Amino acid sequence: MSGKKKKKLPTLQKADRTRTATQRRMHRQEDWRETLQVAAYLKNLDVIHSRVKAKWHRMTSEQIAATKLQADINFRLLSKVMPDLKMVEIQGEMQHMHHDMTRSEIDGMLLASGINPEEAFGQLKLVK
């Protein structure tokens, strides 16, 4: 080892590291809380679905209305913790360039690919 002193890189103060760790822990706890809420709402909806599937032909109109209300409540609670996929905006950019190629350009590309242009064009069937 050489006698040179290593430069100390700036580090977070202990209070900053603790606060950051606490923030990360709180963030993870919130993520888990939301995951568990979603799981509970989905389980409730699955129970409602199973009940309706098994007893739909014997249910009275009051039971149907109560079951519908339970499902609506669970869907509304679920929408608070999960994004509505219909409302998620998808952004993107599409670029399409149209280039009319001459027969000689096409022949050159075919030859570069090891294809005989006369055979390739002979195999094409033109659709009117």
Q: What is the pLDDT of residue 6?
A: 63
Torsion sign (Cα): 103, 104, 107, 109: negative
115 located within any domain: no
- In whole angstroms, give the CA distance from residue 12 to residue 23: 15
- Which residues form the domain of 63? 14-81
126 pLDDT band, cuts 50/70/90, is low
Q: What total of structural domains would you count in the chain?
A: 1
109 in any annotated domain: no
- Non-local (6+) Cβ contacts of 97 within 8 A are none
Q: Is residue 20 assigned to a domain?
A: yes
28 within some domain: yes
Domain-embedded: residue 117: no
Would you state the pLDDT for residue 115? 85
Average pLDDT estimate for 87-113: 75
The whole-model pTM stands at 0.46
Residue 123 has pLDDT above 80, yes or no: no
Q: Is residue 116 part of a domain?
A: no
What confidence score (pLDDT) does residue 62 get?
92
Give domain status of residue 70, yes or no. yes
